[in-house]
Amino acid sequence: MTVVARTWDRLTLPGKALFILIPLLGVLTLGLVITIALFGQQILDILIFNLPIVRFVFSVTILMLIFVPMAFVIIYMEMKIIALMNLRIGPDRVGPWGTLLSTVHGLKVLMKEDFTPGKADAVVFTWAPVVVFSTAVLSALVLPFAPGLYGQDMNIGLLYFFAVGGMTVVGLLMGGWSSFNKYSLIGGLRSAAQIVSYEIPLTLSVVGLVILAGTMSLNEIVIQQSRTGWFTDWFMFRQPLGFLIFAIAATAEANRTPFDLTEADSEIVAGFATEYSGMRFGFFFFAEYINVFIISAITVVLFMGGWNAPFPSPHISWIVDPGSLGLWLVILIAIVPVVGTLALAAPFYLFRSKTRWWVALILGFVLFNVIAGGIFSLWAYINFDWVAGLFWFVGKAFALVFLFVWMRGTLPRVRIDQLMGFAWKWLLPAALLNLFVTAAAVLVIDAMKAAPK
């Protein structure tokens, strides 16, 4: 019996139905494409008429869909980077360099039994991961990814972000309480105490920034950091203490090492997630990795210039209108990929006698795609504001994600009373100090500016 047949036999009946449904969906997609080709103009008119609704649906879909690969990338990054830091090899079996491992993990979690313990409160038990995941999605709503690329630009964006982010604790507490497990309960209560305590320094550390910026809209804050175009405009350099406090408190808010007391596996099994399995467990950890990105993203927005490049970009215009090429465009599209693939495959085939012709062709094809993608990205980067913004934003955010992973690889977990004492005895007074020093400095500078007149 082949592997495929054996796997097919192991599926439950609904599973088989679902695997039949997926090709059916493919056929439906083809039908959709044909429909768009035939009635495209009418559909476009209706869409433009309902533009606000279309924008809403579009932003929801994009945010939800971008989260899945993003969580997979962060999970893979964490596995691989910590492995390299521990002098291990890490994932290397599934896909090139093990890159597909987190995807396979996701599929595995999807197919695992989703079990509710006997005495658990089933309703609360099910809603807990939903609440945690929803708060993660909701806090991404105000993030400005690039110029014009955000869910919603609220004038209370910063306050909204903290308010929604603090709701995570409700979900964790729900999970901890409803599991009917002492470890879960301890984990849930710990998370409540921890998140609630670090909420205060987290929110207070950005008050100095709010004084400087005079606004709470995240878009406005990003724009304020682009006066001269150099990285010295970033609030990181005008609010160093605030940045430090914010980074520490944000790490604690996201339950990351060294502050991951809520799921300290050496003490309380897995904390609030002890009794969870299958997809409900999956959503807890999906949300956790999204939260890592969101925390990095909000740090980038507030302190590291958001979508602004660290240096002023030279004005290059490299505009190619594809329409002006005429018939040459068709020839270009038809011939360049074939010739390019062959040309790039030739060296592998000619100069390495071990390489078979089809391996060389695949290598050439991949290389051609990489080069073409690179050229296209460069063109898009130069011509579109939002592509450049997205590049810098995601680049900076992932640099911070790397920092989080680095911390996890380096720092040991703190003790719970040290954790709580640190928030109240050190971070809170430091945040207040930062706030009043900033306010006094603003007072003096404004007075000096007003004096000569």
Partner 1 sequence: MALTGIWYVIGFAFAAGSFTFLTFGAAWLISHRNRGDMHKGMPYESGIDTYGDTHGRFGLSFYIYALLFVAFDIEVIFIYLWALVFRSLPDPITGFTSMLIFVAILLLGLGYAWRKGVLSWGGPGR
Q: How far is the CB of 207 from partner 1 (least distance, A)?
A: 5
91/271 with CB nearer partner 1: 271
- Between 162 and 231, whose beta carbon lies closer to partner 1? 162
Among residues 282 and 364, whose Cβ is nearest to partner 1?
282
Question: Rounded to an integer, what distance in angstroms lies between the CA atom of residue 233 and that of residue 429?
Answer: 26
Q: Shortest gap between Cβ of 420 and partner 1 (angstroms)?
A: 6
Of 261, 259, 240, which Cα lies nearest the Cα of 250? 259
Yes or no: say if 294 and 135 are a contact pair by the CB < 8 Å rule: no
Nearest residue (CB) to partner 1, 342 versus 442:
442
- Which phi-psi region, left, alpha or beta, contains residue 98 (left: φ > 0; alpha: ψ -120 to 50)? left
179 vs 341, beta carbon nearer partner 1? 179
Q: Provide φ and ψ at 304, rounded to 5°.
A: -120, 30
Report long-range pairs for 70-76 (Cβ below 8 Å, ≥24 apart): 70/289, 70/290, 70/293, 71/102, 71/286, 71/289, 71/290, 71/293, 72/102, 72/103, 72/106, 73/102, 74/289, 74/292, 74/293, 74/401, 75/102, 75/105, 75/289, 76/101, 76/102
Using left for φ > 0, alpha for ψ between -120 and 50, and beta otherwise, residue 229 falls in left
| In the complex, least distance from residue 327 CB atom to partner 1, rounded to whole angstroms | 44
The distance of closest approach from Cβ of residue 191 to partner 1 in the complex, given in angstroms and rounded to an integer, is: 12
Total residues belonging to the chain: 453
Q: 274 or 299, CB closer to partner 1? A: 274
**Structure token pair of residue 302:** 């507030």
- Between residues 248 and 360, which has the closer beta carbon with respect to partner 1? 248
Tokens 């089809």 map to which residue? 358
State the nearest-atom distance from the C-beta of 150 to partner 1, in Å.
10
Closest distance between partner 1 and the C-beta of residue 242, in Å? 12
CB 57 to partner 1: min, Å: 9
Nearer to partner 1, 185 or 388 (CB): 185
The least CB distance from residue 451 to partner 1, in Å, is 14
Sequence-separated contacts (24+) of 381-385 with Cβ below 8 Å: 382/316, 382/317, 382/318, 383/317, 383/318, 383/319, 385/146, 385/147, 385/148
